Structure 1
């Protein structure tokens, strides 16, 4: 971690894997992929495409599995992204790390935090997770911490540390 010697870590958080897998959009994508890969659907698609009669192309080959494969790949890439995400809150900044092949690390200085918002959807309530949006005045703008367990506690910790950081720095005014 790239922190100064006197900077202390307040908390670390990661997106909940089970919530990432069972997000409504992922369930819908996987259901659609299964439907597209069903033999009846493949036969219907092949019959439809055979009407165009493009010479030399048979549509009962593996080409018809491409839409299903793309949907499954999009779900897998979302889950891999969620698994590589980590958030570290120190007493000076919020550090966001993500990426598998290309590792990205971004940070938000806490004295620049303007607002911390929490949203919890109905399906997120089932898993006890929520999304936290941290709005700041630096170039990062808004950072979203998705699928965080105990989102109220994390939101309050960010808000509390931001206020402490602002008071340590003295009078910080943010013009809107």
Structure 2
């Protein structure tokens, strides 16, 4: 890590991991862009969306597992720690890994927006940058505020983020390109927004 990045960072990764390990189950902690982030426990609609996605993925791709809350080391030099709502990877890929695994092998990460004040910064800006830089092939953002599904593909490892972003309204069919190669009918997602 550069001296400039160390000055901007709230703490070291080691300090963050110590704090995260002691956090109560009512929150999830992440460390992206040198800042600690707190996510509240997901509401019922949020969890239902992730379960809906898991069923669709497992039915279409039984060779893959959808992990919930899987901690990933992201950002340059793996100095960030993120817990996406779901990570799609080959079956048993994360077996034997600790709380924070390398993103290698993750084929897709998924975020479902929450109704909290830092969703915009975290889910729409910081996370796509970090996941793209980590080389994760797909980032799917299920955005309950705009009632859209954004599929980010073609990661840019140099600057972070993704070169291609396709946005679909809830109710449309969403294509998840390779390496997933499935389609999702998103009509039911209309039921899970405020």
Q: Same fold (TM over 0.5)?
A: no
| Bigger helix fraction | 1
| Bigger strand fraction | 2
TM-score normalised to structure 2 length: 0.24
